[in-house]
Every structure is written in structure tokens, then in C-alpha cells.
Copies of this chain bind each other. A is one copy, B any other.
Amino acid sequence: MKLFTAQRRHSVLAFGEQRLIVAIRGWLGDASPRSPFGIGDDCAVVPSSGRPMLITTDPVIHGQHFDDTVPARAVGAKLLKRNLSDIAAMGGRPVAAVLSLALAPETDARWLRDFYRGLAAAARTFRVRIVGGDITQGPRGFFGAFLTLHGEAAGSRAVTRSGARAGDALYVTGALGGSLLGHHYKFTPRLTEGAWLARRTEVRAMMDLSDGLAKDLGSLTPRGLAPALCGPAVPVSRAARRRATQTGTAPLAHALGDGEDYELLIVVARDADRAAFERAWRTRFPSVPLSHIGGFVRAADRAALAGAINLRDYNGYEHLR
């Protein structure tokens, strides 16, 4: 068995990302516990002798997550912030990170210095300690930085992606789309907001938006339910409008499909006092928009879905393409 194949049908590309993740769970079998203790949530929740640990891992790879227009410092900061966003999505508090680098021999040491300085500055801002790592030589033209971040629940629970029920409401923070114009590395992970939300008992489930609302919503939707989104309620960013003008497309398509929003998507219980919840949010976070964009209905309930956005019309970010 060779590592690489010339036959496309045997390649991971032919598999596609979603099928590959399902297959990997099968291959790992009982070596990988069920979500949230295993694959499938923003972070893995690991029982420990103290508070449950949260672990997440995300890389930045040249050509995938940044290009030569992004300053080295911003690349280092983005690497940490992507992972912080996953901790935020569970209502966690970050603690420590390790970094594994694979870099081409011709990597400029001055660029690398700025990358590390950007990482260090973000680590100080968000009170994370960089506690270890590894450096390995990679092939020419390659730069990949693979960070693993550890944290713990900020309050008494970690909020997972599961738990939504029919009738629950969907909220989103900030405004969506157009991240390519700068937001993809200029964002601030919603750590304070996530920790606050985890303490609210009406919040049933939560995740951060990385691949675009249209695709990410799937991970929050239990079997038998469907999300019913109200188009005009979706907060479209100014960048999404600019991209739409540049490319002659619909702003909503960018808000739903661009990815790298790093905003929080929140499920609020159907019996909650939503007005009180919204008021409490505005008092605590007066400058961060919180939008009620729809809710979950039974998938068989065609009437409830009439007029809702058909999410299949909008593609999210596909990691293998």
C-alpha cells in the first residue's frame, strides 16, 4: 500500500471531508470516545482529576489559512485566536498551548521571529502560556504551524453542540461574511461572551462559526430537526456587502458561506424568557450585536419551513477540494 495514489477514486479528495471524518471515527473505533469526549465538538472534553479539561487543535498552513498579504505577526496571532474561538464556543477559559512547526529550510528567520512575537502578544492578551513544542523540517515551500490549546470550563459546565430541541431559538453574535477582506485574521475570539453565555441556563448548545453558517449549522442540528432561518434577520457584515459588490453576488450568500467568521452560534431554549435574555446581553455587551436569526423545527414540518432559507443553496468551506 502506497501513501499517494494516481487513481483519483482512491484518494482522500474523492472521499471528501464529511465522509472522511465519519470513516476516521470508524477506523479509530473504541479508541475514540463519543462527543463531547471525542471527535465532533469544538473542543474535546477530557475528564481529569480536577475540572474537566478542554482540548482543541487547529493549524495555520501557508496557502490555506494565510498568504503573503498577511503580516507575520498577524499569522502568529491568528493561529492562537482560531483555537481560542473553539474554547470560547464551549464557555471555556484557555490555559496553555503547545506548537508543532513544520517548516521549509528556506523559511526566513526574521519572518519566523515576527510570527512568534505575534503569537506571544496574543498569548499575553488572552492569558495563555506557550508551554512547549516541536520543530521539524518540512519540504521546500511549506510552512505549517499546528497548535494544540488546553483550557477548562470557566463556569460549572462546558457547552457542547448537542442539545437543541424543536422550538428552540437560534442566535448569532456579530455580523457574518466577507472574512477574506481582513476579518479572517483581525477578529477577536468571543471568550468573554462564551463564558457569560455558558452561565446562562437558557443556553442549550453553542458552537463557533468557522466554515460558514450554512455548513456549520449542520453540526448543531439533531436528527429529525431542521433549522428554519429567517433571511432578513441574518446579520450581514459590511465586508460581505463589499465582496458581493466586487463579485456581483448576493450579500446573504457571503454571510452564509464565506467562513472564518469566528462568531458564536447559540441555541436558546424554547421556554426561555427571550426578552430578558436579550436585555441581559445588551447590558453586558452593549457593542456586540446579538441577532435572533430563527430556530429549530421538526424536519417533517413543511409548513414551519416555508419561507425559511434553503441552506443547500449555500456552500460552506470545504477543506478537501
Give the B-binding residues of A (Cβ under 8 A): 1-6, 8, 10-15, 17, 20-21, 23-24, 27-33, 37-39, 41, 43-44, 46, 48-51, 53, 55-59, 61-65, 68, 71-72, 95-96, 98-100, 102-114, 116-117, 119-121, 123-124, 128-139, 141-144, 146, 148, 150, 152, 319-321
A109 to B61, CA, bound (A): 22
Closest to A10 in B: B108
Q: Check A51 against B49 for contact (C-beta < 8 Å).
A: yes
When all copies of this chain in the complex are counted, the total is 2
Closest to A20 in B: B135
Q: List 11 A-B contacts (CB under 8 A).
A: A3-B111, A12-B108, A24-B135, A27-B116, A38-B132, A48-B50, A49-B152, A53-B53, A57-B98, A61-B136, A135-B319
Q: Check A113 against B27 for contact (C-beta < 8 Å).
A: yes
Q: Check A107 against B37 for contact (C-beta < 8 Å).
A: no
Q: Check B131 against A11 for contact (C-beta < 8 Å).
A: no
- Interface of chain A, main secondary structure: mixed
**Residues of chain B contacted by A15 (CB below 8 angstroms):** 109
8 Å CB contact of A55 from B23, B96, B109, B116:
B96
Q: Check A144 against B148 for contact (C-beta < 8 Å).
A: no
**Residues of chain B contacted by A46 (CB below 8 angstroms):** 95-96, 129, 131, 150
In the complex with contacts A44-B96, A116-B28, A141-B139, A131-B38 CB distance below 8 A? yes
Q: Check A106 against B5 for contact (C-beta < 8 Å).
A: yes
